[in-house]
């Protein structure tokens, strides 16, 4: 079954990451690299997203489309990246995500077949 893992950063996580020394930050990123390598056999794609202030939003719920700069919603949590994985079932995805060493929130969504 295919799922998308949506990695969600919080303001606190971002602040904590920025407060790390360069060496500590490098160690944190190395843990993510190790996690990716450990699960490379089920990862089918993905990427890190640029910061939310680079977003362009198109609202289609009115009589005419409205294009605005910035994210869809202002919030304390933002999607910072995603992976597409292919695993046996949700339980396997959950086992995988429980060991994620990065941001504090991961949303798991099944892909349409």
Q: Of how many residues is the chain composed? A: 113
**Average pLDDT of span 10-18:** 92
For 54, other C-beta atoms within 10 Å of its C-beta total 10
Residue 89: the pLDDT is 98
Q: Which two tokens stand for residue 48?
A: 């890190």
Q: Quick one: fold of 2-110?
A: Alpha-Beta Plaits (3.30.70)
Q: Is the pTM of this model over 0.85?
A: yes
Across the chain, where does the E strand assignment appear? 2-10, 43-48, 56-59, 66-69, 77-86, 105-110
Q: How much is the CA Rg of the chain, to the nearest whole Å? A: 16
pLDDT tens-place string over residues 28-83: 999 999 999 999 999 999 999 998 889 898 889 999 999 988 766 666 788 999 99
């Amino acid at each position: 079954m295919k799922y998308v893992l949506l990695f969600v950063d919080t303001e606190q996580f971002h602040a904590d990451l920025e407060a790390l020394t360069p060496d500590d930050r490098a160690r944190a990123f190395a843990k993510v690299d190790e996690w990716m390598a450990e699960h490379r056999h089920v990862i089918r794609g993905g990427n890190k997203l640029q910061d939310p202030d680079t977003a362009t939003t198109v609202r289609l719920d009115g009589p005419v489309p409205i294009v605005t700069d910035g994210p869809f919603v202002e919030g304390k949590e933002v999607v910072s990246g995603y992976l597409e994985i292919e695993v046996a079932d949700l339980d396997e995805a959950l086992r995988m995500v429980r060991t994620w060493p990065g941001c504090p929130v991961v949303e798991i969504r099944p892909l349409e077949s």
